[in-house]
Amino acid sequence: MTRFRHDLILRMIKLLDAVLVTIPFAMCWYLYYAKRVASPYYAKGDYLVVALFFVLFIIFGRVYDAFLMSMQRISEIIYEQFLAAAVSDFIMYIVIWLLSKHLPNILPGVAALVGQVIMASI
């Protein structure tokens, strides 16, 4: 296998990982939080909130080295991805708090975090 092909496959796996971790947050946003914001968004605003989580997860994933898949043990990767997802979820909880103008229920966010950990461990 050439080096280029190896790098391409590794990049696709990293992108797939970030997408799979974003799916539980997107479900949580669409099924619970989007209906409870003060001024409900239309499709573009909802996409932007999910994209913000996606970008935050990638940024914190790089900070915590959660995407160094060929160099670390699986337990370390899961722990680092849990940290990246938890910090991203916390920041998004603050954003949702500001959008809804009252303290939102934290349980759907915790359920999304559990789903993200499950997705990261697959």
Q: Where are the domains of the chain?
A: 3-121
Structure tokens at 88: 């991203």
pLDDT at res. 50? 96
Cα 56 versus chain centre, distance: 7
pLDDT at res. 121? 76
16 burial (CB, 10 Å; 0-12 / 13-18 / 19+) is exposed
Contact (CB, 8 A) for 26 and 43:
no
- Residue found by looking up tokens 């992108």 in the block: 15
pTM of the model: 0.90
pLDDT tens digits for range 101-121: 889 999 999 999 999 888 877
pLDDT at res. 48? 93
pLDDT tens digits for range 51-98: 999 999 999 999 988 888 777 888 888 889 899 999 999 999 999 999
Structure tokens at 119: 């997705």
Residue 1 has pLDDT above 80, yes or no: no
Structure tokens at 8: 């391409």
Contact (CB, 8 A) for 38 and 101:
yes
CA–CA distance, 71 with 83 (Å, rounded to integer):
18
CA–CA distance, 102 with 37 (Å, rounded to integer):
9
